[in-house]
Each structure stands twice: as C-alpha cells, then as structure tokens.
A and B are shown apart, each in its own frame.
Chain A
Amino acid sequence: DIVMTQSPDSLAVSLGERATISCKSSQSVLYSPNNKNYLAWHQQKPGQPPKLLIYWASTRESGVPDRFSGSGSGTDFTLTITSLQAEDVAVYYCQQYYTTLPTFGQGTTVEIK
C-alpha cells in the first residue's frame, strides 16, 4: 500500500494569509507513460462530505476558487491556499489514486488564527 503522510496535522493562519500543506507518498504516484501524478486534494468542512479540490496534483476542479493551488510530482506534493478566507476552515486530505488501493493522508486541519 502507498502511505500518504501530511504535515502539519493542523495549522492556524490569519485571514488573508497563506496556508501551505505538505503531502508525501511512500512511493511515486507519477505514471510515466502519460506524465500524470495520480494525486488529489479533498476539502471536508464540518458536518459535510469531502469535496474534490485538485486532481492530477495541480488541476483545479471546476468551480474551485483560484486561491487553491496544487504542486509537486513523484512523492512530494503541496496544497497552497493564498489569502485564506473564513469559509476555508476545513480538514484537507491528500489522496493517491495510482494503485488499486486508493489511500488518504491523515488530514490537516486549517483554522483561523
């Protein structure tokens, strides 16, 4: 199984400031034939189901604000929220869909400082 490890477990950021979450996979999720990273980011607000934010490591899902961006390749990935808004308070999960056993990171809680 591919183990996904996020850091930090939680962070508090002031409104309008940048939030950065790291995700590392125990094996590469880059598929060389199409040069795509099978890595997604999901946002889960309290009492709600998860919502897909980013796929292919850096492609925003339709309707996701452009303050959310994803980067990285291979085993190291980052989710960045520029100019944090109050509605961005949530738990964020990275997830690989490269193998037959999809796995999630443990989640990172983003709060307002």
Chain B
Amino acid sequence: QVQLQESGPGLLKPSETLSLTCTVSGGSINSYYWSWIRQPPGKGLEWIGYISYSGNTNFLPSLKSRLNISLDTSNNQFSLILTSITAADTAVYYCARGGFRRRFDVWGQGTLITVSS
C-alpha cells in the first residue's frame, strides 16, 4: 500500500523560501504523476503543481514564477520549492499521487506551513 509523507519547516518568515519533500513508501515513484495541493486554514483545496514520472512539470499560473517541483527517483521522493513567500502562502500542504488525467488516489497527511514575521 503506497503511503506519502510530507516534511517541511512549519514556520517561515515573509520573503523566505519554502522547501517541502514528499517521501513515497510502499511503491515506486516511477510511472505516476505527483502533485502538491494546498489548503489555507478554513478554506478549500487548491492544486498548485505536478511532476510526471518523466520529469515534466505543470504549475498553477499564478504561482509559476515562484514554484518548482523536482523528482528524486533514487530516494523515492519529490520536492516543492516556493520562493518569496507571503502570508497568503500559509496553508496545509498536501502531496498526492495524481495529476493530468490521473485521479488523486493517494494523499499524504499534510503539513501546516505558517508564514509570519
């Protein structure tokens, strides 16, 4: 059974860079799409980007200039980098298996990222 686990800093200051990693266990990272989805406190779900097994990426247009997602097949992980963060980036960040024409069928537990000075 595939499981996902996010890891990240928890608290960051405005203008800093957010770095999150999702570790995939119980299965291979190959042959799937992998996404990051976030949820601001008390609000709905927002997909922000995905990476395919071949390394192709796609991002939410409003975040495209600040966001990157990469794949580490040797460690069965994928990562998110979000630069120049602001309070508006405060959210629970989930990693999930799925993306373009692939359903989100496995979700991580989520990690709360708070941006505050």
Given contacts A51-B107, A52-B105, contact A97 B99 (CB under 8 A): yes
Chain A contact residues, majority secondary structure: loop
25 sampled A-B residue pairs with Cβ under 8 A: A38-B101, A42-B45, A49-B94, A49-B109, A50-B104, A51-B107, A52-B103, A61-B105, A95-B45, A95-B104, A97-B99, A97-B101, A97-B103, A98-B101, A101-B47, A101-B58, A101-B60, A101-B61, A102-B47, A102-B99, A102-B100, A104-B45, A104-B47, A105-B44, A107-B45
Is B72 located at the chain interface by the 8 A CB criterion? no
Interface residues of B (CB under 8 A from A): 35, 44-47, 50, 58, 60-61, 94, 98-105, 107-110
With contact pairs A49-B108, A101-B58 given, residues A40 and B45 touching in the complex (Cβ less than 8 Å): no
Find chain A residues with CB under 8 A from B94 CB: 49-50
* A99 CA to B100 CA, complexed, in Å: 6
CB A33 to nearest CB in B, in angstroms, measures 12
A73 in contact (CB, < 8 A): no
> Which chain A residues numbered 83 to 113 have a C-beta less than 8 Å away from chain B?
93, 95, 97-107
Give the number of chain A interface residues (Cβ < 8 Å). 24
Number of A-B contacts (CB under 8 A): 59
Which chain A residue lies CB-closest to B99? Answer: A102
* Alpha-carbon gap, A52 to B50, bound state (A): 18
Taking A50-B104, A101-B58, A106-B44 as known contacts, 12 extra A-B pairs with beta carbons closer than 8 A to each other, sorted by chain A number, are: A38-B101, A50-B94, A50-B107, A52-B104, A97-B103, A100-B100, A101-B47, A101-B60, A102-B35, A102-B50, A102-B98, A104-B46
Q: Does A77 touch B at the CB level, under 8 Å? A: no
How distant is A59 from chain B, measured CB to nearest CB, in Å?
Answer: 9
Using a CB–CB cutoff of 8 Å, the interface residues on chain A facing chain B are 31, 38, 40, 42, 44, 49-52, 55, 61, 93, 95, 97-107
Query: Would B45 and A97 count as touching, CB distance under 8 A?
Result: no
- Kindly provide the distance from the CB of A34 to the nearest chain B CB, expressed in whole angstroms: 10
